[in-house]
């Protein structure tokens, strides 16, 4: 519970100093844990949208939103940390003025936010969010504009997650997997998505040349998954060459690269898998 001295001015000054102290201590603790900066820094709306891909937006209206769901900012990512504590004394007077107004019951106008899934990003009202959190509030009134994205806005707890999302989005735009295939073709190394896209496109090029027929992107994605990926994963499992913690798509890429290095072929059969398993070149 936030204490009160009976003087809104004194309390507002105390509120600011407490928020700054907590921000500094949080930063020191993060460094001692060797946490990366993006774990404590406010997330950038532009970076999230670039990673997920913007499809459309629409105004939702004014509603009450949870303060804990506000994770980032449009243009002040370095002015406040992830919990919207001020990172400097630059705007102390403005902050304390809002804190006094909140403590004396003045009407505080709604903030403006973008909503991406369950996350909110502040367009206007950073100090209002900061003060509200400092005073221990759980909810805040906001004018909300929802953003629809190409990728589902999940698993973006830190800025480091965005690189993986960015590369996955690029892959899916080149190779539009759907349903089971979309879920199965997943990796943990961002650049591997680029390798997958190139691998699928190369496979489709060989098929089109052999069949003398054009294949659109949707057909390419469906056929590669059904005719190449799934059968090869079955062979990898049968041969026992998939690592314990290795995702199917990661196993496919590793074995496919090893196959070509050893035997310079694009075909799959028992002899090929035996060569890969033994690590020997095919004679």
CB atoms within 10 A of CB 154: 12
Strand boundaries in the chain, DSSP class E? 43-44, 54-66, 70-73, 111-116, 119-124, 139-149
CATH for 8-149, options being 3.90.1530.10, 3.10.690.10, 1.10.10.410, 3.40.50.1370: 3.90.1530.10
When mean pLDDT is compared across 54-58, 237-241, 260-264, 279-283, the lowest value belongs to 279-283
Q: How many CA atoms lie within 13 A of 142 on its CB side?
A: 27
Percentage of the chain with pLDDT > 70? Answer: 85
Mean residue pLDDT of the chain comes to 86
- The answer to whether 118 and 153 are in contact (CB under 8 A) is yes
What is d(CA 280, CA 259) in angstroms, rounded to the nearest whole number?
A: 10
Position 122 scores a pLDDT of 96
Nearest to 95 by CA among 137, 124, 131, 146: 131
Position 65 scores a pLDDT of 96
What is d(CA 283, CA 281) in angstroms, rounded to the nearest whole number?
A: 6
Give the residue extent of every domain in the chain.
8-149, 175-278
pLDDT category, 282, cuts 50, 70, 90?
very low
pLDDT category, 274, cuts 50, 70, 90?
low
DSSP H/E element including 166: helix 160-174
Position 283 scores a pLDDT of 39
Number of H helices, E strands in the chain: 11, 6
Q: Torsion over CA of 145, 146, 150 and 153, rounded to 10 degrees?
A: 120
Position 280 scores a pLDDT of 46
> Residue 70 has what DSSP assignment?
E
Distances in Å between the Cα of 30 and the Cα atoms of 36, 144, 163, 200 are 8, 32, 22, 41
pLDDT category, 276, cuts 50, 70, 90?
low
What is d(CA 54, CA 65) in angstroms, rounded to the nearest whole number?
A: 22
- What values do phi and psi take at 90, rounded to 5? -55, -45
Answer whether residue 134 shows pLDDT above 60: yes
Q: Is 250 left (phi over 0), alpha (psi -120 to 50) or beta?
A: alpha
Report helix, strand or coil for 116: strand
- The answer to whether 48 and 132 are in contact (CB under 8 A) is no
pLDDT: which is higher, 27 or 21? 21
Of these ranges, 2-16, 140-154, 248-262, the one predicted with the greatest mean pLDDT is 140-154
- The answer to whether 64 and 111 are in contact (CB under 8 A) is no
pTM for the whole thing?
A: 0.74
Q: Identify the bridge partners of residue 124 per DSSP, sorted by sequence position.
A: 112
What is d(CA 135, CA 234) in angstroms, rounded to the nearest whole number?
A: 57
């Amino acid at each position: 519970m936030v204490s009160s001295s009976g003087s809104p001015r004194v309390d507002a000054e105390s509120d600011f100093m407490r928020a700054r102290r907590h921000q500094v201590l949080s930063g020191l603790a993060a460094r001692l844990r060797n946490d990366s900066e993006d774990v404590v820094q406010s997330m950038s709306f532009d970076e999230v949208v670039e990673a997920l891909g913007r499809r459309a937006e629409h105004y939702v209206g004014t509603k009450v939103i949870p303060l804990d769901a506000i994770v980032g900012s449009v243009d002040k990512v370095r002015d406040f940390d992830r919990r919207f504590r001020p990172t400097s004394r630059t705007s102390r007077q403005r902050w304390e003025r809002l804190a006094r107004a909140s403590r004396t019951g003045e009407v505080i106008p709604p903030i403006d936010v973008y909503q991406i899934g369950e996350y909110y990003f502040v367009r206007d009202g950073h100090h209002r969010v900061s003060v509200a959190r400092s005073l221990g509030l759980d909810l805040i009134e906001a004018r909300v504009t929802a953003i629809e994205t190409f990728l589902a806005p999940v698993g973006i707890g830190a800025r480091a997650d965005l690189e993986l999302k960015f590369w996955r989005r690029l892959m899916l735009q080149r190779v539009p997997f759907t349903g089971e295939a979309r879920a199965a073709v997943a990796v943990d190394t961002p650049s591997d998505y680029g390798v997958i896209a190139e691998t699928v496109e190369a496979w489709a090029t060989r098929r089109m040349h052999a069949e003398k027929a054009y294949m659109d992107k949707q057909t390419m994605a469906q056929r590669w998954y059904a005719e190449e990926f799934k059968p090869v994963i079955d062979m990898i499992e049968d041969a026992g060459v998939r690592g314990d913690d290795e995702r199917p798509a990661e196993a496919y890429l590793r074995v496919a690269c090893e196959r070509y290095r050893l035997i310079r072929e694009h075909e799959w059969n028992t002899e090929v898998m035996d060569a890969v398993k033994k690590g020997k070149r095919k004679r």
